[in-house]
Amino acid sequence: MASILAVDDSASMRQMVSFTLKGAGYQVREATDGVEALEIAKTETFDLVLTDVNMPNMNGIELVQNLRQQDNYKFTPMLMLTTESAGDMKMQGKAAGATGWIVKPFNPDQLLSTIKRVLG
């Protein structure tokens, strides 16, 4: 079953995302910020990376940038969780190499349908 790396500094969001995705049969690994995520990604390859934008130590944009530099993550779908409805953050994300975005607040069903769109 597909594996997902979920990155968010908010424990409640992580839990919600993790629970929802696991319930749908995905394998989920959690990280609390970009630095932790990058460490995990060095030794494990995931089918999808789901990351919040605003995090301490390394934000979501930097994380995507860094991940894209790794060979095994060149083409991996990476989705950003953003509350910005203005195009600015999305532009930044795209420029960094993100695949797409999910706008917060979202409910579990929206999360699942978006993930499904990417992973099938």
Residues that bind another protein in the complex, under the rule CB under 8 A: 9-13, 15-16, 19-20, 23-24, 54-56, 68, 74-78, 83, 85-87, 90, 94, 97-101, 103-110, 112, 117-118, 120
Of 13 and 35, the one with the shorter C-beta distance to another protein is 13
50 has which bridge partners? 6, 79
Cα gap 120→113, rounded to integer Å: 9
Q: 64 near 89, Cβ under 8 Å?
A: no
Rg (the chain; Cα; Å) = 13
- Kindly state the smallest distance separating residue 14's Cβ from another protein, in Å: 9
Of 43 and 87, the one with the shorter C-beta distance to another protein is 87
- Kindly state the smallest distance separating residue 100's Cβ from another protein, in Å: 4
Of 40 and 103, the one with the shorter C-beta distance to another protein is 103
Q: Length of the chain in residues, anyone?
A: 120
Burial 18-56 (b: 16+ CB within 10 A, else e): bebbeeeebebbbbbbbbbbbeebeeeebbbbbbbbebe
- Kindly state the smallest distance separating residue 104's Cβ from another protein, in Å: 5
Of 42 and 74, the one with the shorter C-beta distance to another protein is 74
- Kindly state the smallest distance separating residue 37's Cβ from another protein, in Å: 15
